[in-house]
A and B are shown apart, each in its own frame.
Chain A
Amino acid sequence: MANFDITDPISFLKEQMMETLRLVTDPELYINIIDLGLVYGIDIDDSKKLVNVKMTLSSSYCPMGESIVSAVKNCIDGHYAGYVTSVALVWDPVWSYDCITEEGKRLLGM
């Protein structure tokens, strides 16, 4: 899960983008990627209008991986005009079921 520094001037924007990413859902589970715990953090270079989303997938060769990554880029680019988004897939820490938020577990019917 991502952490935000209140002293960071763009932390509000990061938080906003994080909320926007709730619009991206896993096509099999119908749960958004934030509640699935797939997004580890967002870096923003406000001067160059660059956004880098650090995220993972449930498995390194997840069949839906490409479409989830593409959805993340489309989502940020579409909602924040002028920003260019890149996605960095990271495998450390490895995603596990513990990454799912309480809300995600509720949505999964647990």
Chain B
Amino acid sequence: MSSVKQNPGLYKIVVTHYVFAAFCFLILSVMMLFSVNAFTGHYFHPQILAITHMAALGWGTMVILGASYQLIPVVLETELYSEKLAWISLGFFLPGLLALVYSFWVFVPGVHMQCGAVLLMLAVILFTVNVYLTGKRKKQQTIQEDFIFSACLCLCFTVALGTALVFNFTIPIFPQDHLHFLKLHAHLGLVGWFLLMLIGVSSKLVPMFLVSSYQKTRLLTASYYLIVIALLLFLVDSYFFGLTFRTYVIFAVGAAGIACYFMFILKCLRSRLRKHIDLPMLSSFLSFILLKIAIMIVPFIIYFHLKNNPATVRFSVIYGEFMLLGWITSLILGQTFKTLPFIVWVKRYEHLTGKFKTPMPADLYANNLLKAQTISFIIFCLAFMPGCYFMTIPLIYIGVAALVVTAILYITNVFIVLFHKTITYGKL
């Protein structure tokens, strides 16, 4: 017999990640509330750096790490190599995150910031080793595996470059401008880590959740190679020459890769057997729209950069916001209520199924709270992003307030799922 076994150890590690991520999301929204003015300036600002790292590491990466321990065995069709490694990784990740974010917030680039960066690097290396050894157990290679392994490698390189940048504040390591490397660090993280990982996992889960009959992987293979080639070209070209006219071509290659992924999703959607699309999946589709908007901003960043126009900074800020707070956040807000109720349901009801009428996984979360959360998140997007572009403080305030509400609703719903008490509706 073969199927993924849910054991108590795996449950604890996954749930711990979700809980910490939910708290980080709340802290992130409160940090934003205290930094509204910073969003009208340059992105190289202590509070923006702290917020970006809280969003990328505490929120986005934390959820992905937790979900990975549950989903990578599903995607790679084998069991997780080691739970112990996962706990040690979390043990390094949390203090590392706190030290790094606090040091950015108060901007003291000393030993605390450096220790934080080193701890984070150790954490992601352990995660990568765990994923690699999990995948090594399996003979058949799939395109999902390529996406996931490449994403893990990019995460390691992102954190390694980030650590070097942290040390560069006090010990000159890089001959060039700090901002030059910040671009590479950001894209390794956004495209290399988040994009590759989310495509890899979602390309298995979206057809599963939609019950889609589309099984071909040609579009995914094309997507993988185009994105990886574009990322490598961008890193090499912009390291040596900065942004040039060639960057447009590199962008076009990467955009073609993402277009292939969107076509794959569209084909899954069209061939789905399950016609009803629930709210968590709708939130995931909203995230794809936000990703498309983020991609459409890139040519403007290149154009204004080449013209030496300061508008490039504004577009860069908006681009980062659409990627981290738009695309990634929207995807997590939806997929949490697709994955977490299942994880909890299996623990609470597996022994009762077939004997008693039980609630279904989707009954474990409060649907009204999820609706309210989706509405407040849409308000955030509609107010915050234009507010930052037009530098309108009241709009930014409205947006951030909506994000705080979103975070409160999200964390409440997460705890509703986690503290769900087992109930039955009589014998079958």
Residue ranges of A at the interface with B (Cβ–Cβ < 8 Å): 23-25, 27-30, 57-76, 78-79, 87-89, 96-97, 100, 105, 108-110
Interface contact B428-A75, CB-CB below 8 Å: yes
Residues of A within 8 A of B428 (CB): 23, 75, 78-79
Residues of B within 8 A of A66 (CB): 3-6, 346, 350
Residue in B5, B274, B354 whose CB lies within 8 Å of A72:
B354
Q: Give the CA-CA distance A75 to B355 in the complex, in Å.
A: 5
Chain B, interface residues (CB within 8 Å), range: 20 to 34
Interface contact A63-B2, CB-CB below 8 Å: no
Interface contact A109-B276, CB-CB below 8 Å: yes
Residue in B70, B355, B361, B427 whose CB lies within 8 Å of A28:
B361
Interface contact B2-A60, CB-CB below 8 Å: yes
Interface contact A61-B73, CB-CB below 8 Å: yes
Which one of B107-115, B158-166, B206-214, B261-269 contacts A? B206-214
Are A74 and B355 CB-contacts (below 8 A) given A27-B361, A109-B276?
A: yes
Interface contact A108-B342, CB-CB below 8 Å: no
Q: CB of B224 within 8 A of chain A?
A: no
Residues of B within 8 A of A89 (CB): 1-3
Interface contact B275-A109, CB-CB below 8 Å: yes
Residues of B within 8 A of A108 (CB): 211, 273-275
- Shortest CB distance A92–B (Å): 13
**A and B contact pairs by CB, cutoff 8 A, 18 listed:** A23-B354, A27-B361, A28-B361, A59-B77, A59-B208, A61-B77, A62-B3, A63-B74, A65-B3, A65-B4, A66-B346, A72-B354, A74-B355, A78-B354, A78-B427, A88-B1, A97-B273, A108-B273
Interface contact A63-B342, CB-CB below 8 Å: yes
Interface contact A67-B349, CB-CB below 8 Å: yes
Q: Which residues of B from 313 to 364 have beta carbons under 8 Å from A?
A: 342, 345-346, 349-355, 360-361
Interface contact A105-B350, CB-CB below 8 Å: no
Residues of B within 8 A of A71 (CB): 353-354
Residues of B within 8 A of A64 (CB): 342, 346
Known: A76-B354, A87-B1. 14 other contacts (CB 8 A): A58-B211, A59-B77, A60-B2, A60-B3, A62-B4, A64-B346, A66-B350, A70-B350, A74-B351, A74-B352, A78-B427, A79-B428, A109-B274, A110-B275
Q: Which residues of B from 1 to 36 have beta carbons under 8 Å from A?
A: 1-6
Residue in B5, B73, B273, B352 whose CB lies within 8 Å of A105:
B273
B5's nearest neighbour on chain A, judged by CB, is A66
Residues of A within 8 A of B276 (CB): 109
Residue in A28, A63, A75, A96 whose CB lies within 8 Å of B4:
A63
Residues of A within 8 A of B208 (CB): 58-59
B428's nearest neighbour on chain A, judged by CB, is A23
A36's nearest neighbour on chain B, judged by CB, is B211
Q: Give the CA-CA distance A59 to B209 in the complex, in Å.
A: 12
Interface contact A27-B342, CB-CB below 8 Å: yes
Interface contact B4-A61, CB-CB below 8 Å: yes
Residues of A within 8 A of B78 (CB): 61
Q: Give the CA-CA distance A71 to B353 in the complex, in Å.
A: 5
Q: Give the CA-CA distance A64 to B214 in the complex, in Å.
A: 21
Query: Nearest 8 pairs between A and B by C-beta?
Result: A65-B3, A74-B354, A71-B354, A71-B353, A75-B354, A109-B275, A61-B77, A67-B350
Residues of B within 8 A of A96 (CB): 213
Interface contact A100-B273, CB-CB below 8 Å: yes
- Shortest CB distance A57–B (Å): 6
Interface contact A61-B74, CB-CB below 8 Å: yes
Residues of A within 8 A of B350 (CB): 66-67, 70
Are A27 and B3 CB-contacts (below 8 A) given A61-B74, A70-B353, A74-B353?
A: no
- Shortest CB distance A29–B (Å): 6
B215's nearest neighbour on chain A, judged by CB, is A96
Interface contact B274-A29, CB-CB below 8 Å: yes
